[in-house]
Amino acid sequence: MRQSRIAWKFLLAVAACALATLAGCKPRQAAPPPSGNLPEPPLDRQIEQKLDPLTERDVELYLKVMRAAAERVKNPAPGDQKVLEDARKIIASRSSGRIPTLNDVNTLERANLVAISMDQIVAQEMKLDARTYRGIVEAIEAVVPNPAIAPPANAAAPAPDHALTPLEKRLKDVDAANRKFLAPYREEIQKLIAIVRDPANLPDPAHNPH
């Protein structure tokens, strides 16, 4: 399942590279590292995940968005269906050597959202702050992962091979608090994730509904 998502993201990268090649763009050269030791950015700027323990309000917001997203995945709007069908055609056209257009790349990006991140679309339509919502999502799904790709419940986490950084320690502590806090909601969250994040929603070029 995880490979399906990786393959889809790889396709987007391939399309973007093809566009860059078509436009005659040269790869960017990495800037030389600055001299001297620069201070690290604040922890909340090093990661999207919310670094404070989740609140009741956070969970209510997440569930509100995910419930609406799951319903929309199960009963897709005509516009969502069209995006997925257009993406399927774009993917299928790769075999002919066709160079993707900018419109193709935009279509693939939108289809990726429709297929496995419908909640991001719903959150945008609700006019929620995107970074705040993603921070809540990251915090929740870090401890209640997609049941289709989660490791077995009895699998032990690998021991770190280095002293924890301040960010890693903060994440470890907040994850432990969130895991306990989310226990009453875990079953519903996993059901919603299984619908909204299902890689099977991604357009399959081998499937032609017509």
Question: What does R_g of the chain's alpha carbons equal in angstroms?
Answer: 20
Look-up of token digits 């915090």: 139
Nearest Cα neighbor of 40 from 138, 140, 170, 141 is 170
CA distance to 44, 133, 165, 167, 178, per residue, from 50 (Å)? 7, 9, 17, 12, 11
pTM score, whole prediction: 0.74
In this prediction, residue 207 carries a pLDDT of 58
21's tokens = 């090649």
- Looking at residue 76, its pLDDT comes to 94
| Residues 100, 15: Cα–Cα separation, whole Å | 6
Domain ranges within the chain, ordered by starting residue:
2-23+49-144+166-199
- pLDDT of 121: 97
pLDDT at 208: 56
Positive or negative, the CA dihedral 191, 192, 193, 197 is positive
Counting beta carbons within 10 angstroms of the beta carbon of residue 136, is it exposed (0 to 12), middle (13 to 18) or buried (19 or more)? buried
Question: Tokens 């993406």 label which residue?
Answer: 87
Going from the C-alpha of 154 to that of each of 99, 111, 120, 157, the distances in angstroms are 47, 35, 31, 9
Query: How far apart (Å, rounded) are the C-alpha atoms in residues 191 and 39?
Result: 42
Tens digits of pLDDT across the chain (210 residues): 334 444 455 455 445 545 544 444 444 444 454 545 555 555 545 578 999 999 999 999 999 999 999 999 999 999 999 999 999 999 888 878 888 899 999 999 999 999 999 999 999 999 999 999 999 999 999 999 988 776 655 555 566 667 888 888 999 999 999 999 999 999 999 999 999 999 999 987 665 554
Tally of residues, the chain: 210
Residues 6+ apart with CB under 8 A from 135: 48, 49, 50
Span between the terminal Cα atoms of the chain, in Å: 26
Model pLDDT, residue 206: 64
